[in-house]
Chains A and B, each alone.
Chain A
């Protein structure tokens, strides 16, 4: 029994020492994807000549809660971003994370100081959009950029950001599903910045049709479409259509009794209007 254990232990040590365990790029990517940073980093060290390994090392530096080194991670990501010879998928991920981290770091100066002050995030995100215009990453890059541009008080900037958003959505040649987060952001910002419920509901409808991943949000979005038509746009016909759609899709929802009441209210109002005429 003891001998068996010693043999197993020796084999395991040899296996690790000579690098037989998880030597492939795929294993390393899976380890990182599963949040196993120490394993991913160890594997990346063994195949450090591979671009994927350099990407994983940079991301581990930025995100590993145990051995986080944000300046090191940012420097490594920048190096990858500036490397023109990388494959497009690796470069895109490096650039996207580099730009996004720069945005987040800038918002937390008390922690990171001026670490990201020199990063031109617009250029980074634009490069991602230009290089992979039909990809999910292009949509994500625009989303990241617009979260900043559609937050300030400069009306010119806001107008141009909305134009950019609309043009991008209309001309996007990739899978329409990738646009879903942009539609959700548009709904939010059209209401909060311009009280433009008509544009907001247009984007909400598109988001719903594309299939919102979070089932709770999907339910709320359909409910909100009906409410916006009913209360803000005074389009009772469309409101009734979406209320009925809601009851069809979510009959057991906590909002369903409300929606039934709204439908009754609409019917009552319609009847009253008829009688007045």
Chain B
């Protein structure tokens, strides 16, 4: 082939490449333009709203797709062409994406809330004007004339932003915590499909699972965990601590909270009025349970453990009910769902057992709000009302993603029967008092991890030693919280003055005036809570110092 021919073919290929690049550019431009027009270019009479969240769990998007279809049909019957576009962004990048969208002024019309309460106040439409009126989509249901907020399990308390005296989001679901069991594996290892009721039974079954794995030469993990984000460890510690100490909610509550107050617990410990063994017993229980986690449990994340569970390598997986459907649907074996076993009479710590904590009064989460930048506020509000109406919320949550619905009087069917809130023995959960904020929370769990890994004989003692060592860090965190509370007070005054100034408008409607008064009241109540909290933080610092001194530090 001559040099000229080679050059010609090179030029030809280059031209093709250039043309293709140009074509791709044009197509991309058209797609971006069409998307940005919200479909108006193709169908000018159509109204388009966008709906964004991070939920990739099984059934969630499908449930909302069905709700969207029904909403579009309903609007079409009214003679309005509406299109709702559902967008999902994975959780890891969601907070950044969320904020970028808000700052850029192009957020979805209905969007799952992330970020701080300040951001909600800055970027979201206050909804208090609407939640006191009945949801129009509840017509023909038991909630026909009930205010929208009173149709929710928690009367929308979870949506109240007390700092600003406003509601910026509407919740969609509730959740409990359960243990998922590979029943086939359980039967192979123990000869029975019976799930353990007590902690001792659970530990015995775990031992059998371990032995079974050794016998068949397969690495069986008796208990799978979300170790990387420490969530399983945290929940198990919280749960067993509550089983033995929730009575302190009655004896150690005071001016700061109707729950047990850390300062009071430490004071009782310092004055030898409270058994240290009782307070530390949960650390020992966690050590016992932890012997059945996989070797590298601190590095395994949720997805890895789910994968191992589906592959048949995990016996038990304690996890939230938001994963219930995913666990059942993707497992090629029968999955049992049970409550986490309680400390039975046959356990050494049964003397401290006060009862199974209650799940009554659970909050509602998964808040969705409407950004101020939305160009379709009324349609977005209608969509939010539609999807949180009694029938549709149950359809999305119970029928599709098998989550606990947010609405009252919901029917718990199928696997939800195993996930629904249980009364237990009526004791409320109690927060372990060994941390102040995120830093010491992490350190507390790291201490438990080390105790598990070293299979420490005196788990309680070591846990206590680590806690005493952490006190300076804990005090630092509490002092930071006091500073943050002071900053909040300036923000509270900013809000108070804004509401008062808005109240100077002479021709305010009675309803608007009432709303302003309510917000004013909420702001002042929030101010008093801030003062109460600051006093409690200071009290905790004093007693922590005393405790450390008593321990010879």
Contacts and interface: CB of A to CB of B under 8 A. Distances in A.
Contacts of A147: 531
Contacts, number: 137
A32 interface: yes
A152 interface: no
- Most B C-beta atoms less than 10 A away, residue of A52, A55, A97, A177: A97
Given A108-B486, A227-B258, A258-B249, A93 B504 contact: yes
B89 interface: no
Contact of A188 (B360, B501, B528): B528
B52 interface: no
A257 B360 contact: yes
A63 interface: yes
Interface in B310-368: 358, 360-362
B452 interface: no
A257 B504 contact: no
Taking residues whose C-beta sits less than 8 angstroms from the other chain, chain A's interface range is 35 or more
A89 B504 contact: yes
A184 B505 CA distance: 29
- Most A C-beta atoms less than 10 A away, residue of B255, B486, B496, B517: B255
B502 A32 contact: yes
B497 A30 contact: no
Taking residues whose C-beta sits less than 8 angstroms from the other chain, chain B's interface range is 35 or more
Given A104-B493, A192-B255, A214 B505 contact: no
A270 interface: no
A101 B493 contact: yes
A81 interface: no
B160 A215 contact: yes
A247 to B, nearest CB: 12
Contacts of B516: 33
Given A257-B358, A260-B426, A30 B502 contact: yes
Interface string B474-512: 000000000000100110011011111111111100000
Given A26-B506, A35-B121, A214 B499 contact: no
A188 B502 contact: no
Main secondary structure on chain A at its contact with chain B?
Answer: helix
Contact of A216 (B160, B165, B493): B160
Contacts of A101: 493
Contacts of B529: 217
A260 B488 CA distance: 37
Contacts of B162: 214, 216
Interface stretch (B282-290, B383-391, B519-527): B519-527
A201 to B, nearest CB: 12
Contacts of B503: 33
Given A214-B160, A256-B361, A258-B250, A90 B504 contact: yes
Nearest to A251: B360
A26 B506 CA distance: 7
A169 interface: no
A55 B502 CA distance: 12
Interface of A: 26, 29-30, 32-35, 52, 55-56, 59, 63, 89-90, 93, 96-97, 100-101, 104, 107-108, 136-137, 140, 143, 147, 177, 180-181, 184-185, 188, 191-192, 212-217, 220, 223-224, 227, 252-258, 260-261
